[in-house]
């Protein structure tokens, strides 16, 4: 619960100052938290949000990290076709 609270606070601050790289990183981290707590469908949605934002601003590093995270979620959901694509 503490990790989520810290991330929510960081996301709020990054959003206030429009620091897009921070928003992407924290959003991806929130997906990690959801994934670790066995909330795969929520983590997929969160990773997709981070991926969309990373692509929008051309942040290739975060885009790649989000894709790895999404592939991992699909793998754990036994959705091997989506994990490959």
CB atoms within 10 A of CB 24: 26
pTM of the model: 0.84
pLDDT over 90 percentage in the chain: 73
Is 82 a residue whose pLDDT tops 80? no
Q: Give the separation between CA 84 and CA 61, rounded to whole angstroms.
A: 19
Of 17, 9, 25, 69, residue with least CA distance to 44? 69
Q: Give the separation between CA 7 and CA 22, rounded to whole angstroms.
A: 10
Give the CA-trace dihedral at 59, 60, 64, 65, to 10 degrees.
-40
| Residue of higher predicted confidence among 4 and 38 | 4
CB atoms within 10 A of CB 29: 19
Q: Give the separation between CA 77 and CA 62, rounded to whole angstroms.
A: 22
């Amino acid at each position: 619960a503490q990790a989520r609270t810290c991330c929510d606070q960081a996301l709020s601050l990054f959003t206030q100052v429009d620091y897009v790289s921070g928003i992407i990183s924290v959003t991806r981290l929130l997906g990690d938290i959801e994934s670790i707590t066995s909330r795969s469908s929520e983590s997929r949605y969160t990773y997709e949000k981070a991926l969309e934002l990373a692509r929008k601003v051309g942040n290739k590093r975060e885009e790649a990290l989000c894709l790895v995270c999404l592939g991992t979620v699909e793998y754990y959901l036994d959705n091997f076709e989506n994990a490959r694509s």
